[in-house]
Amino acid sequence: MSGEFKQFRLETRDWLERNCPASMRAPMPPEEVVWGGRDAEFVNPDSKLWLERMAARGWTCPTWPAEFGGGGLNPAQAGILAEELARIDARPPLTSFGISMLGPVLLEYGTLEQKLEHLPKIVRGEIRWCQGYSEPGSGSDLASLNTRADLQDGYYLINGSKVWTSYADKADWIFCLVRTDFEAPKHQGISFVLFDMASEGVSTRPIKLISGSSPFCETFFDNVKAPAANIVGRLNDGWTIAKRLLQHERTMISGFGLAGGQAEGGGASETTLESIAMRYRGDKGRLSNPVLRDRIAQFKIDSEAFALTSRRSAEESTGGGPNHISSMLKYYGCELNKRRCELLLEAAGNRALGWEGEGFDEEELSLAREWLRSKANSIEGGTAEIQLNVIARRVLDLPDLTGILREKR
Amino acid sequence: MAASMLLSEEQQLLRESARGFCREQAPISLHRKLRDSRDPDGFDRDLWRRMVDLGWSGMAVPEEFGGYGFGHLGLGLVLQETGRTLVDSPLIATVLLGANAILELGSDRQKAEILPRVVAGELLLAFALDEGALHDPARIEATAFATENGYALNGAKTFVLDGHVADRIIVVARVNDGSNGAGALGLFLIDAAAPGLEITRTIMVDGRNSANLHLSNVQVSADRRLGESATSPADLDRMLDIARVGLAAEMLGSIEEVFERTLDYLRQREQFGVPIGAFQALQHRAAEMYSEIELSKSLLRAALAALDDPVSDHRRIAKLASAAKAKLSEVFFLVSNEGIQMHGGIGMTDEFDIGFFLKRARVAQQFLGDAGFHRDRYAALHSF
Ligand SMILES: Cc1cc2nc3c(=O)[nH]c(=O)nc-3n(C[C@H](O)[C@H](O)[C@H](O)COP(=O)(O)OP(=O)(O)OC[C@H]3O[C@@H](n4cnc5c(N)ncnc54)[C@H](O)[C@@H]3O)c2cc1C
């Protein structure tokens, strides 16, 4: 490793040592995740301090250019920062759709004004974004969407409704797909528009999930006004941006597949699948249920292979951003996370099946909730089946039946 | 920072030249010819000479012993390419198992004496470990009794790859030298023509050659014991792990080849007026295979890198080797079965090559431990 990187590592380590509060170096309970926004909540006051310090260096978005508030790091430096954060088990200072989804496409397709207006606020966690893609009639067939935007006096007037909009009730702004050409084929009449959720005419209604929480909403637009300058990219070319953003989203979601942990560290921790399985069976040194043991081993091998593949994919795409392999990682990562949750349920027996109240500890209660939540992994961000379609067509170059039949007609 | 998952330019060149060589000089038709003619050697000696000339017999052998020092990754890349066209050659028995055993477990004198001859293609080796229906290095019943100037070997060995053509055979046995060291492992390099050694060629379903050995009082001198002292089970394991990873590399090449052949067929074969690859039922299965293959590649790459990394300890190598052998065995199983199914009737004909991969898959899965064996070992290595 060159001297420059060595120096960077030492400085980073030193800075983190002095600036990462002790309570930020412990596992993060879900309620302490920092999403930012106008009404940001900080369950733990240290979280606010940690966010402010990291944001001041641009390290909530390490590779974004400094002129937009980012850290301006090159990939190698960003890798070192990530390793140093991992080394002290530091929590992510900020989690947001702005960071993982909107920011990357604004950097690629936004105007200078759009970048200057929105990116620094994402870096600092001042504005929380939500994603207005799915509609009641348009899920997997997203391009069939009907929410419309009509140009009127320099504004787009937006009407329609979205569904499954994660955190729409808590978000400040939305990036939204709208139809702006009603004559063109479905993919060619869509635009990508940004607007404030506090605008007149926006309303949301939370939906409760099988896991008991209500992270997403139905979202209604009734003559909502968005300035014409808020279209990202070219008018009617929103599908290009929509797809690009989905690649970023899929890469982000594929990270669920890393929850199984790098197998290397396994064994020592109290929270690994195998140690939970052994604890509830009173086993020492060897898991007594041979079937479960075999399946956990298989799961861990797949998790390790998956983590290596994520790394390889990142190395292969240096600079190019996510590619079609993101569909494979999304597909596999989500299946892995579902497998992990099912195995946890088996590992803990009826102790994992408690819903609320006395008789179960926090960890046990979270197992059932997490298991239920994991079922969404292969639905959100494009279903498993849609990812397999993308792999078949885009990666394996297999023919498109719908296209063939259309031509024959 | 962890080792890169990417190949260097030199390694890419090596892989490409190996691919070109196999495609032109060792295509599957050669495998078919050897099988159909029931070739007494089971491989083409002329081809082997050309492989030796390319340096493949010395890929992972250090330069001080006449090799080329390309490391285990170098040999792995070559094996991956020979797996694509199912090349029958002494690479596995002589190089991956034999030379590796001598390199890992032999004394300096033994290395200096034997390795240069292996690299030069003068000597064929075989490795005799298993005794029953399953790979089980913990169950060795062959014995080596200490005699005045060496040992007397007794026992039986099965599934000894290239056992019928090897000049020398490395036999794993339990040593009884009268001391309390009874039961320690020893590896003995015996001459194929040694009195008391009975070799029966067995032709396996993949067309490759294994042999059953019967040893009754085979005499071997003390300086033919590898390392000239006891081999610990951990040392034997280390040597086997290198071979397991190399075998997994060969398996990956075969997997990639079946998969690509199957994809070609999906694009080209028409039914109901459309290419069958347009049917979603087949597309999704193909996409799943693709995912599994990508994971297999990463695991193998990491395992090969770990073998060459001077700082990786044996526990880490063992975990990666078992992970790779388990995963590659599963994926070869999957892809070889789907390869037949997606070809329909023609996939079942002997005239068509795809069946060779199915046959090779099962033998490679069993060899040096199947998926179940390696998942069990992986779990034990992770203390559960
Ligand atoms: C937790 C969660 C969070 C979400 N957050 C957001 C958000 O923030 N913003 C947002 O816009 N959306 C969000 N979504 C919506 C999500 O993107 C959609 O649910 C998803 O795209 C699937 O659409 P659908 O629900 O209409 O299912 P459908 O499209 O109706 O699919 C039903 C079933 O049919 C299958 N199917 C459909 N088409 C095909 C095909 N061509 N081939 C094979 N099978 C097919 C699907 O795979 C699925 O199994 C979220 C969803 C969940 C579960």
Both A231 and A249 in one domain: the answer is no
Q: Residue A398: inside a domain, yes or no?
A: yes
Q: How far is A390 from chain B (nearest CA, A)?
A: 9
Residues B71 and B140 in one domain: no
Strand partners, B184: B175
A138 and A113 fall within a common domain: no
Using a CB-CB cut-off of 8 Å, the residues of chain A touching B297 are 309, 312
Write the pLDDT tens digit of every residue in A239-292.
Answer: 999 999 999 999 889 988 887 754 444 334 567 999 999 999 999 999 999 999
Residue to substitute from B8, B276, B295, B342, interface A, most A β-carbons within 10 A: B295
Pocket of ligand 1 (CB under 6 A): A 131-134, 139-140, 164-166, 216, 376, 379-380, 382-383, 385-386, 389
For residues B2 and A195, give the distance between their C-alpha atoms in angstroms, rounded to a whole number: 43
Domain count, chain B: 3
Of chain A, the percentage scoring pLDDT greater than 70 comes to 96
CB–CB of A304 and B290 under 8 A? no
End residue of a domain, out of A175, A209, A236:
A236
Report how far residue B135's alpha carbon sits from residue A325's, in angstroms, rounded to the nearest whole number.
37
Q: Which of A92, A124, A156 is the last residue of a domain?
A: A124
List of chain A residues whose C-beta atoms are within 8 Å of the C-beta of residue B4: 315
| More confident position, A222 or B311 | A222
Please indicate, yes or no, whether residues A397 and A279 belong to a single structural domain of this protein: yes
Q: In chain B, what percentage of residues exceed pLDDT 70?
A: 98
Angle in degrees, CA A356, A358, A359, rounded to 5: 100
- Do B363 and B261 belong together in one domain? yes
Does the pLDDT at position A391 exceed 80?
yes
Residue B3 confidence class, pLDDT cut points 50, 70, 90 = low
pLDDT classification of B209: cutoffs 50, 70, 90: confident
Same domain flag for A187 and A266: no
Strands B197-203 and B209-221: antiparallel
Q: Do A398 and B316 touch (CB under 8 A)?
A: no
Which atom of ligand 1 is found nearest the CA of A385?
A: 47
Q: Is the separation of the CB atoms in A303 and B319 below 8 Å?
A: no
CATH of the domain at A323: 1.20.140.10
pLDDT for residue A266: 37
ipTM of this complex prediction, to 2 decimal places: 0.95
Specify the CATH number for the domain of residue A102: 1.10.540.10
User: What confidence tier does B4 reach under pLDDT thresholds 50, 70, 90?
Assistant: confident
Domain boundary among B224, B245, B265: B224
Give chain A's end-to-end CA distance (angstroms, integer): 61
Over range B26-30, report the average pLDDT.
Answer: 98
In the predicted model, what is the mean pLDDT of residues A45-67?
97
Q: Is pLDDT above 90 for A203?
A: yes
In the stretch 265-324 of chain A, residues with CB closer than 8 A to chain B read: 266-267, 274-275, 277-278, 285-287, 293-294, 296-298, 300-302, 304-306, 308-309, 311-312, 315-316
What is the percent of chain A with per-residue pLDDT over 90, rounded to a whole number?
A: 83
Per-residue pLDDT at A262: 47
Report d(CA A102, CA A241) in Å as an integer: 10
Specify whether A319 is located in the same domain as A383. yes
CATH classification of the domain holding A231: 2.40.110.10
Residues of chain B with a CB closer than 8 angstroms to some CB in chain A: 1-2, 4-6, 263, 266-267, 273-275, 277-280, 282-284, 286-288, 290-291, 294-299, 301-302, 316, 319, 323, 326-327, 372, 375-376, 378-380, 382-384
Q: Name A358's Cβ contacts closer than 8 Å, sequence gap at least 6.
A: none
Write the pLDDT tens digit of every residue in A140-168: 999 999 999 999 999 999 999 999 999 99
Interface test with B, best of A398, A406, A408, A409 (most B CBs within 10 A): A398
Q: Do residue B178 and residue B198 come from a single domain?
A: yes
Residue B156's CATH number: 2.40.110.10
Sign of the Cα pseudo-torsion (B92, B96, B99, B101, in order): negative
A-chain residues within 8 Å CB-CB of B266?
A: 398
Count up the domains in chain A and report the number.
3
Q: Residues A365-390: pLDDT tens digits?
A: 999 999 999 999 999 999 999 999 99
pLDDT digits (tens, 9 = 90+) for B50-84: 999 999 999 999 999 999 999 999 999 999 999 99
Cα angle at A109 between A108 and A113, to 5 degrees?
105
Both B237 and B377 in one domain: the answer is yes
Burial of B359 (0-12, 13-18, 19+ CB in 10 A): middle
The structure's pTM equals 0.94
Q: Supply the pLDDT for residue A31.
A: 85
What's the rounded Cα separation, in Å, for the pair B267 and B308?
40
Within 8 A of A389 by CB-CB distance, chain B residues are 280, 283-284, 287
Domain that holds residue A162: 129-236
Q: Do B184 and B215 fall into the same domain? A: yes
B115 and B133 together in one domain: no
- Candidates B355, B339, B358, B364; CA nearest to B250 is B364
Claim to verify: residue A251 and residue A336 sit in the same structural domain:
yes
Whether the per-residue pLDDT at A106 is higher than 90: the answer is yes
User: For B318-335, what is each residue's pLDDT tens digit?
Assistant: 999 999 999 999 999 999
* Cα separation, A311 vs B351, whole angstroms: 42
pLDDT, tens digit, 9 for 90 and up, residues B249-261: 999 999 999 999 9
- Catalytic residue status for A362: no
| Domain end among B196, B224, B252 | B224
> CA angle at residue B26 from B24 to B28, to 5 degrees?
105
Q: Name the token pair of B64.
A: 């001080």
For residue A321, the model assigns a pLDDT of: 65
B203, B211 Cβ separation under 8 angstroms: no
Among residues B190, B224, B258, the one where a domain terminates is B224
What is the average pLDDT value for chain A, to the nearest integer? 93
B205 and B266 fall within a common domain:
no
Q: Are A157 and A149 in contact (CB under 8 A)?
A: yes
Determine the structural domain holding residue B333 and report its residue range: 233-381
Give the pLDDT confidence score for residue A320 in this predicted structure.
63
Q: Which residues of A219-252 are buried (b: 16+ CB within 10 A; e: fewer)?
A: bbbeebbbeeebbbbebbbbbebbebbbbbbbbb
Is residue A409 situated within a structural domain? Answer: no
Q: How confident is the model at residue B180 (pLDDT cuts 50, 70, 90)?
A: low
Q: What is the CATH number of the domain that holds B251?
A: 1.20.140.10
Q: Minimal CA–CA distance to B331: which of B280, B297, B283?
A: B297
Report chain B's mean pLDDT, rounded to a whole number.
Answer: 96
**Which residue on chain B is closest to A385 by alpha carbon?**
B284
Same domain, B107 and B163: no
Q: Do B277 and A399 touch (CB under 8 A)?
A: yes
Pair (B30, B116) in one structural domain: yes
Same domain, yes or no: A185 and A302: no
Instruction: Determine contact: A56 vs chain B, CB below 8 A.
Output: no
Task: Please report, for the domain that includes residue B109, its CATH number.
Answer: 1.10.540.10
Is the pLDDT reported for residue B194 higher than 50?
yes
Residue B1 confidence (pLDDT): 43
A304 and A399 together in one domain: yes
A261: which chain B residues are within 8 Å (Cβ-Cβ)? none
A174: DSSP letter: E
